[in-house]
Chains A and B, each alone.
Chain A
C-alpha cells in the first residue's frame, strides 16, 4: 500500500492546477460572451445560401 503523505510538492502542484483550471474556465466564458456580443452586433452573420 502506498502511504498517503502530502508533500509540499503536491500542495504546490494542486495550487498550480487549480489556477490553470480557473484560467481555462475564464477563457471559455470569455469566448462565449465575446461570441454573443459579436452575434448581437451582427458581426458574425452566418449566411446559409
Chain B
C-alpha cells in the first residue's frame, strides 16, 4: 500500500489552526474510558479496604486520565490507518482537526500527570500498574502487535484488563486473587468481542493493512477461535463467585450471561460465510452486542455484591472456596 493511499490528503492543507476542547476529549476515547472507569470502580469497591470517597474519586480520575492518555497516544500512532477506515476516519487527527504533534504532547503530558498524581493520591503500586498499562497499550499493542500479528488483540487485550487491578491496588496497596480473576475475565473476553466485530468490519481492517484474524487466517478460523475463547472464558468468569468478592447474585448472573454468550458464539461457529453475508452478519452483530452486556453484567454484579456485603455483612461467606 502506498503512502498516498494511506494519507490521501496532505495534512497541512486540512489541519485546523486551533482544535476545540471537544476534539481533545475525543482523543481520550471517551467510550473506552467509560468502561475503564466502571471496571476500575468495581475493582475498588470490591476490595476489602476502601480509600474513602474523596481519595477513591481522585484515584479513579487518575486511572481514567491515564487510560485517556493511552488512547490519545494510540490515535497519534494510528492516524495513518485511521484515515483509511470508515469507522475511524472522522477521528480528530485523520480529519485534520488536531495536529499529530499536539496529540502526542497531550498524550505524553497526561500520561505523566496521571501516573504521578495516582502515586501521590493512592500508592506506588497502583501508579506503577497504571504506567505499565499506558506503556502496554501505546507501545506493545499500538506500535508493535497491532500491525504485526493477527493475535494482536489477544495479547493487547491485557491493556484493557488492568483497570480493576489498578482500582483494587489503589484501595489496598496489594494485589490478590480476586482482581487477578477480574483481569482474566476482561483479558479472555476481549478476543471474542473484537473478532465478532472484525467479522462484519473485515473489509475495513483489510484496507488498512491491519492483520485482523478474519483477513489473516480466514473467516472459518475466526469463528472457531471465537468459540474456543468463549469456552475458555466461561470458567474464568464463573470462578469469582467462589471468592471473597462473589456471592449468589454474581453466580446467578455469571451462569445466565455465560449461557447466553456461549449460545451466541456457538451460532457464530456453526455459520458459514455465505449465510452471514446473506443476512448482513445478523448473528455476528448480535453476539457483538451480547458481548458488551456480558462484560457490563459481570462487573455490575460484582459491584452489587460489594454493596450487599456493605449492608448485610459477610452474607456469602459459605460460598467462599478460593
Residues of A at the B interface (CB closer than 8 Å) are: 9, 12-13, 15-16, 18-20, 30, 33-34, 36-38, 41
Contacts and interface: CB of A to CB of B under 8 A. Distances in A.
A37 B54 contact: yes
A15 B19 CA distance: 10
A13 to B, nearest CB: 5
A19 B21 contact: yes
A9 B17 contact: yes
A20 B16 CA distance: 19
Nearest to B53: A37
A25 B61 CA distance: 15
Contact of A38 (B16, B18, B20, B55): B55
Contacts of A20: 21
20 contacts: A9-B17, A9-B18, A12-B17, A12-B18, A12-B19, A12-B20, A13-B18, A15-B20, A16-B19, A16-B20, A18-B21, A20-B21, A30-B58, A30-B61, A33-B58, A34-B58, A34-B121, A37-B54, A38-B55, A41-B52
Given A12-B18, A37-B54, 6 more contacts: A9-B18, A15-B21, A34-B54, A34-B55, A34-B121, A36-B54
Interface string B20-55: 110010000000000000000000000000001011
Binding site of A, secondary structure by majority: helix, strand, loop or mixed? helix
Contacts of B55: 34, 37-38
Contacts of A12: 16-20
Interface centre among B19, B20, B21, B55 (most CB of A within 10 A): B21
Q: Which 3 A-B pairs have the closest CB atoms?
A: A19-B21, A37-B54, A12-B18
Interface in B3-19: 16-19
Contacts of B121: 34
A18 B58 CA distance: 22
B18 A37 contact: no
Interface residues of B, number: 13
A42 to B, nearest CB: 12
B22 to A, nearest CB: 8
Contacts, number: 32
Nearest to B18: A12
Contacts of B61: 30
Contacts of A30: 58, 61
A37 B17 CA distance: 42
Given A30-B58, A30-B61, A37 B21 contact: no
B172 to A, nearest CB: 15
A33 B54 contact: yes
Nearest to B55: A37
Contacts of B21: 15-16, 18-20
Contacts of B20: 12, 15-16
A26 B40 CA distance: 21
Contacts of B24: 19
Nearest to B122: A34
B19 A37 contact: no
B106 to A, nearest CB: 11
Interface in B81-121: 121
B18 to A, nearest CB: 4
A16 B54 CA distance: 28
A20 B18 CA distance: 14
Between A18, A20, A37, the greatest number of chain B beta carbons within 10 A of the residue's beta carbon is seen for A37
